[in-house]
Chain A
């Protein structure tokens, strides 16, 4: 791993003292210290510092700031290979580090698509050589993301793919998805599916009165719920692990609730954008708010927040999707969908804590512990022996987001000039500091 600041203290133990320690994996929230050495968490508890500073350790007085497991972002697009002008593993990893994300799960809708073990291997090696945070690729469910032929799920998994998804595409052929689910079960592989019926999502935004006013064609919520309903039926038969990639509306939550109540191995994510904005934020055709799936109404946003608070929604993702100026400086219906989000994920999510809608431990669970558990990763916990991936953040520090300060190669953030509260002060990966706010 390459990072100018941290080279000098590669092997130094690190003591994060005088902190509010939150370990969502144990539901713990206490004042104490966290000690990291040999790349792992050695201890998290009371009075570690008081018991004596270990030899050669770097001591950081956190002054009451929160120390928590690093975030695991289950849905981020990195343009490598094929779209390096939009994002590289290096630039994404620096954005992630600045946002407190210590593990990026990258999407397979690259060029070429991640549908061959050699490409998984390529990404892992590029990440090892250029990225400052951990990177795990998801592989495609179908070859070329075309929705027809299943990929080599076993070999891809063996090569290091942590899950399977067709990115921002739904598999419209139910038989193909049924076979993939059934086959994936033999490998206990997780399928992450984008739930949007292709034939009903040709529009530019959510269908409804606001789209009608703007003269834009809309995508109905049914485009999402129909696919989710179908998928839940298929999971019911196949009994393999399924994760809905990004739900956006109250109706989908009902489907999810029924699936969970029936004991099916179904989990779901929500994107930070859908927790933060509604369709009215599009305003006068602001293309940074063109997303896929689209932003919905305020009542849907509120329902998503309640579902996050109740634990019905398991995971919050950034849905980081960099688009360059050429893709966004277009009429709304012609602009590329997507928003960057790695760097603002935590700050934006903390808004829900500040508005008393979600408590901090629960929020951090959705950002770290649960995605790690769903993906089977050694992350999202401060238990002794766990990977030394932790963050230090001040949940109340205010700032105005200056898009020019972002580390992503693209600037398409809907939080452009937004007032945010909560800032990452330090990001530690495998015991080494890879980002420090100065």
Chain B
């Protein structure tokens, strides 16, 4: 195995999983393993990013992703600044590109960006001189989520290749689903999506998934059950009749989980709608990896920041 501490990504930025090779994904996961160990020690600090400035630019509210990136940057020794839309000039009408140019003038080394429009992070990345990490753009990609999910799977199953992963719920609005589909396909897993037809993107099969419209069929023999948050804030336009009916047919409860493999594990990117897409008993149960996912999130983001920073000038 290649030395993880010498690993770098081929690009300057991490905009999406699409375009990453299996080798790059494995390299990031191996590096993240080291940070998992580090994060469990009392002394969690590294100095790899000392002197570097990391700006977390969030145009969309986020608690766990933003704090995860903040902790990751700080543990690597970077100066981290959080900028959220509520208190920024974007609310005063400044465009995305002007914001990018303004921040760029302050010489950050790493920009972590979340935006509500697909493609916005890539657009911003073209206008700045530093590394850009996509922390979620519209319904397009959320690469660090897919990486942390992969790390969680690999640590619990020992592999990703050959596993059957069922991604269930609001695939239509989900960037998590798109990034996971790309990553799992690259790593050789069998990917299924399970959702009512109104919550499936048109032509979803072409992304490399098998499509199921019932949990019973979709979970049959699955090794991993990945639940998605029902994005009720994007639900204008009658996608499902009611939360009650949705939970009845697509909410993960014990009865539905029994269709999956006996040692199946349950994941959720959070934040959860308990009683909507997942029953509390499952979320907190023995098969749930949901808390571990959060832990892996910090380690994976440290790996991403570290490997990108290695390519910065003067590194």
Contact = CB atoms under 8 A, between A and B. Distances in A.
A334 B124 CA distance: 14
A220 B141 CA distance: 23
Interface residues of B, number: 24
Nearest to A218: B202
Residue from B139, B204, B205 with most neighbouring chain A CB atoms (10 Å): B139
B120 A215 contact: no
Interface residues of A, number: 22
A218 B95 CA distance: 24
B139 A285 contact: no
Interface stretch (B5-13, B34-42, B111-119, B297-305): B111-119
A331 B115 CA distance: 9
A255 B138 CA distance: 36
Interface string A277-319: 0000000110000000000000000000000000000000000
A265 interface: no
Nearest to A329: B97
A178 to B, nearest CB: 27
A326 B115 CA distance: 18
A216 B118 contact: yes
Interface stretch (A22-30, A206-214, A357-365, A380-388): A206-214
A330 interface: yes
B123 A211 contact: no
Contacts of B206: 209, 212-213
Interface in B194-211: 201-207
Nearest to A202: B237
Contact of A331 (B123, B201, B204, B207): B123
A212 B117 contact: no
B175 interface: yes
B71 interface: no
Contact of A208 (B97, B115, B175, B202): B202
A411 to B, nearest CB: 16
A193 B117 CA distance: 31
Contacts of B203: 208-210, 212
Nearest to B120: A331
6 contacts: A212-B201, A212-B207, A329-B95, A330-B97, A330-B123, A331-B115
Given A216-B138, A285-B119, A285-B122, 13 more contacts: A208-B202, A212-B204, A212-B207, A213-B207, A215-B140, A215-B175, A215-B178, A217-B139, A218-B202, A329-B95, A329-B97, A331-B115, A333-B119
